[in-house]
């Protein structure tokens, strides 16, 4: 690798100062409006307005000039560096390999000057990307070319992914849901959201109703009126209540089914050479592609009713966000485990089997959390009891504390974790067990975290940095946590990804660097 | 997991291998503690000046508290901090009450920042920040390095990222 010298540090284009100053005048709008209202269009108004405009222009120009003077960027042989700041100096280095995308924008104001903004996206968890505001369009293109040149192989790979997707032939799906499956799925998606919406609407629009819904008398009168009308022998009362209940349940079921059909209709998951392709939706049909190497972890979850009937859901955690805004992709929302495991395997992950050595966490974290919560509750109950002069609040607090203790005990009882040569597994949940499978090489950082009690009792939490999600193992004995961390980090360090965690594994061959 | 695995790794888990931060870091911590303690000091002075309580009743405990906060606590915080720059990873340890011991493999570093706040600049210090794509601990910061060390570490890590890749 040749160590050619850095290019001399550059500044952004000074004409950008003008743009920033003009934009700064936008800040004068509110004061000007205030002045116009205040002076009511007297002769002094134009003078004041001009002064304000000039003042804001000069102020913004000065500020922009200072930050312009203090910002330099350097293109080295391996990275771009930006140094800036007046009081707080910051120097940022972005290696070319880490740059995912370079976007050049030409804002309206910048066009007459032939200027542009350039942004280097590293796609990391950190939102602070490097951007250079107002450089000449030639300079922007030069920088983009420079970045592309350094990592053209990766670019090519991504470019033809779009092409091949468009021309991909329709292969048999890995997983699909027909109307029957959707109907069953819909049953479990029982939702009273419409009912709540109706209630909320009634509250918002109560002025439209002929009576006050908060007045108990009105309801009593209403129901009594109804009862009288239905020949008031008294037997219809419970029947009416039952009918109402059935109505609400039916509404909930219908809502669930309708919503499920709208969202999941025509669900197809294909496994193409480029990754997973998922199509679904009745009204807005979405077509999402998730390259296999972008899969950071798999999560198998379920609900406490559907679990009794053997239904589970599978989602993949990734950095690319799903259309619904969640950062994990539902790839098999309602499926049998036999259907889920092949999809998991297709993502290059292995489901746990008999050889998986499940370990139980120490009960410490759950025990001490219970103690803390119970003490707070007891204290609160005691204080309220003393103030009110009644033992009821204390009794309520005691019942709540017992319930929380039972919940924590059950949560601990079901928690398991395991680590083999390739993956980390975490299993949790009593009534609705969830399983997370994460390949070690996709993890970003490993942290051992200990609070005061944890240090006293000798346990720790292992926080595994997962791109697009969180993964933690609680209650690990300290010595074991250290071992786990070393082994996992050794695995991670053995593989370097060219760019994001999640890109095509170790590069076997690459063009020699210039 | 067989027990033999434990001993093999134990020497790499212990804290003796940690490099302490630059000695000036204590001064920087003390200065920033002093800055945050100003309101309390002022309040104590005012309470003393009002003179409702017998003289010294406020000032004495306040001075002890302030002295502990500005002089003793920064030293303890400094002592538990440290780092270890390995050949393919950086380990950062901090936290007096809530201890955090984080390892970042260089292969996962997205970009590297060196930041110098006003107080740090006064003492010639800098903070090295490694940013990864993770959601948990997306950035791992190591404060209290001398400026040269921070820059040298940045270069070293960047170099390693590069070398691994080709």
pTM, to two decimals: 0.67
Distance from CA of B1 to the nearest CA of A (A): 8
Does residue B160 belong to the interface with chain A, where contact is any CB pair within 8 Å?
no
Nearest to A446 among B12, B88, B103 (CB): B103
Inter-chain CB proximity A95 and B12 less than 8 Å:
no
Does residue B5 belong to the interface with chain A, where contact is any CB pair within 8 Å?
yes
Query: d(Cα A91, Cα B147) in Å, to the nearest integer?
Result: 11
Asked if residues A280 and A260 have their Cβ atoms less than 8 Å apart, the reply is no
pLDDT in tens, A341-380: 999 998 888 888 888 889 999 999 999 999 999 999 989 9
Tell me which residues of chain B have a pLDDT lower than 50: 1-14, 165-166
Task: Give the count of alpha carbons within 13 A of A38, CB side only.
Answer: 11
Residues paired with B99 in a beta bridge = A450
Does residue A455 belong to the interface with chain B, where contact is any CB pair within 8 Å?
yes
Does residue A90 belong to the interface with chain B, where contact is any CB pair within 8 Å?
yes
pLDDT in tens, B69-94: 999 999 999 988 999 888 888 899 99
Nearest to B132 among A451, A455, A465 (CB): A465
Task: Give the count of alpha carbons within 13 A of A24, CB side only.
Answer: 20
Which of the residues A445, A483, A497 would you substitute to probe the B interface, choosing the one with the greatest number of B C-beta atoms within 10 Å? A445
Distance from CA of A159 to the nearest CA of B (A): 21
Rounded to two decimals, the ipTM of the complex is 0.81
Q: What is the DSSP string of A447-508?
A: EEEE-HHHHHHTEEEEEEEETTEEEEEEEEEHHHHHHHHHHHHHHHHH---SSSTTSSSS-S
Inter-chain CB proximity B12 and A487 less than 8 Å:
no
Name the pairing type of β-strands B125-132 and B109-116.
Answer: antiparallel
Distance from CA of A508 to the nearest CA of B (A): 9
Query: d(Cα A289, Cα A318) in Å, to the nearest integer?
Result: 12
Task: Tell me which residues of chain A, numbers 351 to 410, contact chain B at a CB-CB cutoff of 8 Å.
Answer: 357
- In order along its 514 residues, chain A shows pLDDT tens digits of 344 567 788 888 888 888 888 888 877 777 777 777 776 656 777 788 888 888 888 888 898 888 888 888 988 888 888 888 887 788 888 888 777 667 777 777 887 888 888 877 765 544 556 788 888 888 888 888 888 777 654 444 444 444 444 444 456 788 888 888 988 898 888 777 776 777 777 666 655 555 565 666 666 666 666 656 555 455 666 777 788 888 888 888 888 888 888 888 888 888 877 678 888 877 766 677 777 877 888 999 888 888 888 899 998 887 655 545 556 788 888 888 889 999 999 888 888 888 888 999 999 999 999 999 999 998 998 898 888 888 888 888 889 999 999 989 988 988 999 988 889 999 988 788 899 999 988 888 888 999 888 888 889 999 988 877 788 899 999 889 989 998 898 888 776 553 444 443 333 333 333 3
Residues of chain B contacting A443 with CB distance shorter than 8 Å: 108, 134
Q: Which two tokens stand for residue A272?
A: 């193409």
Q: What is the pLDDT of residue A91?
A: 83
Does residue A124 belong to the interface with chain B, where contact is any CB pair within 8 Å?
yes
Diameter of chain B by CA atoms? 74
Asked if residues A61 and A21 have their Cβ atoms less than 8 Å apart, the reply is yes
Inter-chain CB proximity A449 and B99 less than 8 Å:
yes
Residues of chain B contacting A84 with CB distance shorter than 8 Å: none
Query: d(Cα A300, Cα A427) in Å, to the nearest integer?
Result: 9
Does residue A469 belong to the interface with chain B, where contact is any CB pair within 8 Å?
yes
Residues paired with A422 in a beta bridge = none
Does residue A209 belong to the interface with chain B, where contact is any CB pair within 8 Å?
no
B90 to chain A: nearest residue by CA? Answer: A445
Residues of chain A contacting B166 with CB distance shorter than 8 Å: 1, 510, 512-513
> Residue A251: CB partners within 8 Å, gap ≥ 6?
A192, A194, A195
Measured between alpha carbons, how far apart are the two ends of chain A, in Å?
7
């Amino acid at each position: 690798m040749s160590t050619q010298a850095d290019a001399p540090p550059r500044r952004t284009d000074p004409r950008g100062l003008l743009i920033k100053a003009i934009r700064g005048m936008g800040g004068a709008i509110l004061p000007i409006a205030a002045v116009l209202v205040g002076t009511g269009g007297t002769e002094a108004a134009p003078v004041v307005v001009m002064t304000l405009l000039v003042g804001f222009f000069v102020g913004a120009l000065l500020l922009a000039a200072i930050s312009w003077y203090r910002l330099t960027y350097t293109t080295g042989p391996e990275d771009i560096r930006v140094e800036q700041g007046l009081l707080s100096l910051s120097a940022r280095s972005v290696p070319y390999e880490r740059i995912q995308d370079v976007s050049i924008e030409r804002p309206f104001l910048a066009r007459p000057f032939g200027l542009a903004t350039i942004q280097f996206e590293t796609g990391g968890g950190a939102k602070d990307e490097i951007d250079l505001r107002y450089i000449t369009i030639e300079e922007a293109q030069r920088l983009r070319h420079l970045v592309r040149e350094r990592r053209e192989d990766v670019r090519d790979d991504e470019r033809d992914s779009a092409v091949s997707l468009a021309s991909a032939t329709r292969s048999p799906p890995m997983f699909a849901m027909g109307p029957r499956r959707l109907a069953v799925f819909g049953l479990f998606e029982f939702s009273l959201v419409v009912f709540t919406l109706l209630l909320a609407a009634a509250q918002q629009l109560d002025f439209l109703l002929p009576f006050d819904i908060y007045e108990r008398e009105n309801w009593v009168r209403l129901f009594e009126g109804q009862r009288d009308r239905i020949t008031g022998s008294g037997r219809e009362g419970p029947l009416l209540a039952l009918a109402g209940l059935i109505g609400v349940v039916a509404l909930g079921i219908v809502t669930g089914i309708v919503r499920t059909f709208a969202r999941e209709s025509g669900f197809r998951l294909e496994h193409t050479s480029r990754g997973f392709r998922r199509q679904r939706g009745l009204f807005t049909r979405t077509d999402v592609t998730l390259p296999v190497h972008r899969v950071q972890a798999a999560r198998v979850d379920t609900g406490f009713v559907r679990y009794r009937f053997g239904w589970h859901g599978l989602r993949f955690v990734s950095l690319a966000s799903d259309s619904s805004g969640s950062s994990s992709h539902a790839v098999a929302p309602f499926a049998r485990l036999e259907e889920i495991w092949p999809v998991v395997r297709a993502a290059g992950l292995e489901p746990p089997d008999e050889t998986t050595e499940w370990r139980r966490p120490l009960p410490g974290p759950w025990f001490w959390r219970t103690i803390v919560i119970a003490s707070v509750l007891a204290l609160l109950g005691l204080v309220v009891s003393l103030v009110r002069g009644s033992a009821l609040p204390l009794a309520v607090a005691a019942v709540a504390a017992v319930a929380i203790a039972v919940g924590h005990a059950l949560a601990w009882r079901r928690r398991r974790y395991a680590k083999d040569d390739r993956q980390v597994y975490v299993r949790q949940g009593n009534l609705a067990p969830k399983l997370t499978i994460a390949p070690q090489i996709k993890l970003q950082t490993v942290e051992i975290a200990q609070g005061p009690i944890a240090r006293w009792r000798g346990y720790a939490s292992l926080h595994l940095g997962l791109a697009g999600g969180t993964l933690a193992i609680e209650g690990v004995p300290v010595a074991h946590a250290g071992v786990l961390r070393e082994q996992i980090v050794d695995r991670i360090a053995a593989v370097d990804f060219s760019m994001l965690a999640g890109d095509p594994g170790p590069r076997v061959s690459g063009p020699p660097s210039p | 997991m067989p027990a033999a695995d434990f001993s093999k790794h134990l020497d790499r888990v212990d804290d003796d291998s940690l490099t302490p931060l630059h000695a000036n870091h204590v001064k920087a911590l003390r200065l920033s503690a002093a800055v945050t303690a100003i309101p309390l000091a002022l309040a104590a002075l005012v309470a003393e000046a009002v003179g409702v309580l017998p003289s010294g009743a406020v000032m004495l405990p306040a001075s002890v508290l302030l002295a502990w906060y500005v002089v003793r606590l920064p030293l303890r915080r400094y002592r538990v901090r440290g780092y270890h720059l390995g050949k393919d990873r950086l380990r950062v340890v901090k936290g007096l009450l809530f201890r955090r011991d984080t390892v970042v493999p260089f292969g996962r570093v997205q970009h590297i920042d060196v930041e110098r706040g006003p107080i740090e600049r006064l003492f010639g210090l800098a903070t090295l920040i490694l940013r990864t794509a993770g959601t948990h601990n997306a950035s791992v910061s190591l404060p209290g390095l001398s400026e040269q060390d921070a820059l040298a570490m940045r270069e070293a890590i960047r170099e390693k990222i590069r070398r691994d890749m080709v």
